[in-house]
Structure 1
């Protein structure tokens, strides 16, 4: 089927003898709604990266951190004394553990670890991060997974390939979603094909069926991460962004994604339930052109979902669409109008740590 890469368990990108892969040891990436032990985030520190909006960004970060910390522990990476002092002042009393770590930026979804589980065992995969194809500095951010593995005392599978967490969605049952506009750029893994990615993600994250959409939002510096447009809300339900204005450049791309999703099937060959989610109605301009605000960049945690809001006419409608999709979870809208100036939102600045006992291969 067009838009799909399917892989048998016997197929791997390696023919030579190798150390056991996560899949061979029974590990796989859980869905985001699986129970968390904690959330990891990084504190914003560079006013230049935020085009002079750092104060507003920190205020919105504080609201997000405090909200998440009401439901689960939060680990906060801070790059220097000023950052830690500022964060502690804004977050006094919140369930936060601070880590002094050199950082370039805050997009821990992309530069942080991707955790994998095997029953009660927890480990992580450590991918190369090159700031979405060399767009910004990344040397410090690329070291975050190694720090997290050391802090937790858990197995770390270091990968030579570039991969960002925001570029992949999983349903926890072996299905993954991504975009060609992101994964197939020549600034990430030149020469790695759709079939190569399918083999790689099967070996490392347990993705047995990889589904491909064509592209993401206009002027998204990630080259169209899946988490800005299309998300799993449960094993069989996918919410996807739509643009009602036929004159908007996002209209045709989102319409094609919607049509492709309706033709796709899950791990059992059954069609997904597809739910349409509006994009914000207001055109937002930033320092480098059009901004990519989206409601799909929500974050799912223990008993809650946080949804970005932009002071837009579609804010309330987005909450109305998403709330029924998360029974048993409190769906909370929080301001992300300042954060979006950096090109992302709540999912981009969070990384979930599933529950599990840290495991080491040589233990």
Structure 2
């Protein structure tokens, strides 16, 4: 496989020794897609969310490169002005003229695979349909993985099915966690059975085990992405969102997830260690419950960037996450205006691992 040019391959990545590493694996960079339309935030809301978005970029850039898909030259110049005004180190920023429809790079961005044996990488070009066709157009977002493959000079493989980065969570040791509510939804891959989807996950993510929970949280328009509910912090430990208020709409869903997690066994037979992560108080805007969750954090080379919600549970949540990531700085950034777009820091980003 060439490291200097990019082409489509028909190889099955797992058979060649490629796999998707855990998020704590060292990064070359983190990828974002710069907000430029009213797809997720109205103009007024977009102005409100930009300070937190810039803080997010600044926090990532403290320990790694930030590569940003920027729709066109006008967007690139606008982004530069905002970043420079905030004092961001522009040596750590790469703005690329990659046209996009929306900003959720976790889901439309590339899945980078690594092969430690031959020191090579490749990209999986999953299909993207804006969470079941909810938010057209999404044609430009669907092209982003191939754009980045060409930019990086990496070969890519196209499985031909819909898959979103926020729907899968990896321990780096052969296991992926996901939800039936999302991956088995008829608006994604209605032609596939659960067993067939599991085979795609094994073949193209290089895992040997798929563990399923049932649901997601209230207000999540992705139909139940795992990155709002359960996150691996090491090979056998998960942070699991937990709701203590029995009257909260999320209570039964999160209780069910906890029961499912307790029944799971990893490839080595071990039970998961489950660390409870409180849910914030409900974040409601215009009568709509938003998908606010502390679990939607991003792990970078030196930090964990966590959404906060102007809530008394913010600091306890940061403390719990900090205990799970010794050696990394935990950075809380107010995500109240960002989550109005129905996602947060993990949804906005996709890490690029080193080999």
Q: TM-score, normalised by structure 2?
A: 0.93
Deviates more, 1:44-53 or 1:190-199: 44-53
Over 3 Å counting, the alpha-carbon distance change for 1:19 and 1:43 in structure 2 is closer
Over 3 Å counting, the alpha-carbon distance change for 1:151 and 1:287 in structure 2 is farther
**Pick aligned residue for 2:25 from 34, 39, 61:** 34
Asked whether the equivalents of residues 44 and 57 of structure 1 are also in contact (C-alpha less than 8 Å), the reply is no
C-alpha separation in 2, matches of 1:64 and 1:179: 27
Compute the displacement of 1:288 (Å).
Answer: 7.1
Q: How many residues align?
A: 338
Instruction: Classify the secondary structure of the residue corresponding to 1:105.
Output: coil
Deviates more, 1:227-236 or 1:82-91: 82-91
The alignment status of 1:341 with 2:333, answered yes or no, reads no
Compute the displacement of 1:81 (Å).
Answer: 3.4
The alignment status of 1:192 with 2:189, answered yes or no, reads no
C-alpha separation in 2, matches of 1:133 and 1:286: 24
**Pick aligned residue for 1:88 from 80, 86, 105:** 80
What's the counterpart of residue 104 of structure 1? 101
The alignment status of 1:219 with 2:219, answered yes or no, reads yes
Instruction: Classify the secondary structure of the residue corresponding to 1:348.
Output: helix
**Over 6 Å off, 4+ runs:** none
Asked whether the equivalents of residues 37 and 72 of structure 1 are also in contact (C-alpha less than 8 Å), the reply is yes
Deviates more, 1:18-27 or 1:269-278: 18-27
Deviations 1:193-237 (A, max 9, x none): 221111111111112110000100112110010001110011111
Instruction: Classify the secondary structure of the residue corresponding to 2:251.
Output: helix
Deviations 1:164-205 (A, max 9, x none): 000000101110100011001111000322211111111111
Instruction: Classify the secondary structure of the residue corresponding to 2:37.
Output: coil
Instruction: Classify the secondary structure of the residue corresponding to 2:319.
Output: helix
C-alpha separation in 1, matches of 2:266 and 2:40: 40
What's the counterpart of residue 359 of structure 1? none
The RMSD of aligned alpha carbons is: 1.3
What's the counterpart of residue 60 of structure 2? 68
Q: Which runs of 5+ in 1 are unaligned?
A: 1-17, 357-363
Compute the displacement of 1:80 (Å).
Answer: 2.7
What's the counterpart of residue 132 of structure 2? 133
Instruction: Classify the secondary structure of the residue corresponding to 1:24.
Output: helix
Instruction: Classify the secondary structure of the residue corresponding to 1:233.
Output: strand
What's the counterpart of residue 58 of structure 1? 50
Q: TM-score, normalised by structure 1?
A: 0.91
C-alpha separation in 2, matches of 1:86 and 1:280: 33
Compute the displacement of 1:77 (Å).
Answer: 1.1
Asked whether the equivalents of residues 295 and 309 of structure 1 are also in contact (C-alpha less than 8 Å), the reply is yes
Deviates more, 1:39-48 or 1:343-352: 39-48
C-alpha separation in 1, matches of 2:142 and 2:35: 16
What's the counterpart of residue 241 of structure 2? 241
What's the counterpart of residue 12 of structure 2? 21
C-alpha separation in 2, matches of 1:72 and 1:149: 19
Deviates more, 1:51-60 or 1:237-246: 51-60
Compute the displacement of 1:82 (Å).
Answer: 3.5
Compute the displacement of 1:313 (Å).
Answer: 1.3
Pairs within 5 Å for 1:1-363: 19-47=10-38, 49-51=40-42, 52-92=44-84, 93-94=89-90, 95-119=92-116, 120-137=119-136, 138-281=138-281, 283-287=282-286, 289-356=288-355
Compute the displacement of 1:266 (Å).
Answer: 1.2
Asked whether the equivalents of residues 198 and 207 of structure 1 are also in contact (C-alpha less than 8 Å), the reply is no
C-alpha separation in 1, matches of 2:179 and 2:287: 23
C-alpha separation in 2, matches of 1:287 and 1:45: 23
Asked whether the equivalents of residues 14 and 207 of structure 2 are also in contact (C-alpha less than 8 Å), the reply is no
C-alpha separation in 2, matches of 1:217 and 1:82: 37
Asked whether the equivalents of residues 39 and 102 of structure 2 are also in contact (C-alpha less than 8 Å), the reply is no
C-alpha separation in 1, matches of 2:104 and 2:123: 18
Structure that is richer in helix per residue = 2
Q: Which runs of 5+ in 2 are unaligned?
A: 1-8
What's the counterpart of residue 12 of structure 1? none
C-alpha separation in 1, matches of 2:132 and 2:352: 26
Compute the displacement of 1:284 (Å).
Answer: 1.8
